[in-house]
A and B are shown apart, each in its own frame.
Chain A
Amino acid sequence: MKPFPLDELRVEYLRETHDLSSFHCRNDDLNDFLKSDAIESQEDLISRTYLCLWHDTILGYLALVTDTIEVKLIEKDDGVADYPYPRYPSIKIARLAVEEKFEGRGIGRFLLFWATGKVYQLSNEIGCRYITLDSKQESLGFYENFGFKVIERYAGRNFPPMYLNMYPIVSQMRQEDSGRDA
């Protein structure tokens, strides 16, 4: 099946007026979150949910929250000298789901790219170096291709956590752009 043309996709904040009844992805937990928890979580200022639409059809959604990556104290004999911060700021893609009927048409990719672009823009306003997420096992390769790293300790979990360090990418991008401008 052909991917949706990107210029026909729209992103909207989740609102109470959206009809979510027909949305169905393969994961019950992701369906439950959208239909039962997302609005309340948004009102509580815990997460913010964004819908991807084509005309009036919901193709998928994602939810973002602020997060941290904490590095637990390392023993002296681990050979790691002091490090500057025990915690690092991140934005978490807390949920990402695609309507089952439209799988394989680029919506998951679109949502991941859109979220990454958003986090990058946020990082220009507030300190944020990492993107974190909990991946479905079957999506690990999808995120790894993008540069996300799985946490080995939790790799066997249902939803193993992953992170992407934006710093080397942003740094390289700035170098390339300044070289182009010079």
Chain B
Amino acid sequence: MARPIELGLILEGEDAKEFLEDIRNPKKPTKEQMEMFREAIRIYEEHPVS
């Protein structure tokens, strides 16, 4: 049996502070990230599950 799927990511300390800061002041995504995200949507739409 494989290791169980771990659910529920818990953030504490600096990781939690960084996460919350990212909610308050999200960093502007890079041009590359935007392009990748748009490509991801396109790939999903062009490959429906059968």
- Chain A positions within 8 Å of B, measured between CB atoms, are 6-7, 9-13, 29-30, 32-33, 36-37, 41, 46-47, 50, 63, 65, 67-72, 74, 78-80, 83, 90, 92, 94-95, 110, 112-114, 116-118, 120-121, 132, 134, 145-147, 149, 151-153, 161, 163, 165-173, 176
Query: Which A-chain residue is minimally distant from B50 (CB atoms)?
Result: A12
Question: How many angstroms between the C-alpha atoms of A69 and B42 in the bound complex?
Answer: 27
Instruction: Give 24 A-B contacts (CB < 8 Å), ordered by A residue.
Output: A6-B43, A32-B2, A33-B2, A46-B5, A63-B5, A67-B7, A71-B19, A72-B12, A74-B20, A83-B23, A92-B7, A94-B5, A112-B40, A113-B43, A114-B43, A116-B37, A132-B9, A147-B33, A149-B18, A151-B11, A153-B13, A153-B14, A168-B29, A169-B34
Question: Bound state CA distance, A120 and B37, in angstroms?
Answer: 9
Which listed residue, B11, B17, B22, touches A165 by the CB 8 Å rule? B22
Bound complex: CA A52 to CA B14 (Å): 38
What distance in Å separates the Cβ of A141 from its nearest Cβ neighbour in chain B?
14
Bitwise interface map of B from 6 to 50 toward A, beta carbon under 8 Å scored 1, else 0:
111111111111111111001111101110111111111111111
Q: How far is the CA of A113 from the CA of B40 in the complex (A)?
A: 4
Total number of B residues with any Cβ neighbor in A under 8 Å: 45
Does the CB pair A65–B5 fall under 8 Å? Answer: yes
Contact partners of B45 in chain A: CB under 8 A: 117
Q: Is the CB of B14 within 8 A of A152?
A: yes
Given A29-B2, A69-B11, 19 new contacts (CB under 8 A): A10-B47, A12-B50, A65-B5, A67-B9, A70-B9, A71-B16, A72-B16, A80-B20, A112-B40, A114-B44, A116-B41, A117-B42, A153-B15, A161-B9, A168-B27, A168-B28, A169-B33, A172-B28, A172-B34
B32 surroundings in chain A (CB, below 8 A): 145
Q: What residues on A are CB-neighbors of B20 within 8 Å? A: 71, 74, 80, 83
> Do residues B10 and A163 form an inter-chain contact, with CB atoms below 8 A?
no
With CB as the reference atom, state the residue of chain A lying closest to B19: A71
Q: How far is the CA of A166 from the CA of B36 in the complex (A)?
A: 12
Closest chain B CB from A77 CB (angstroms): 12
Inter-subunit contact A117/B40 (CB<8 Å): yes
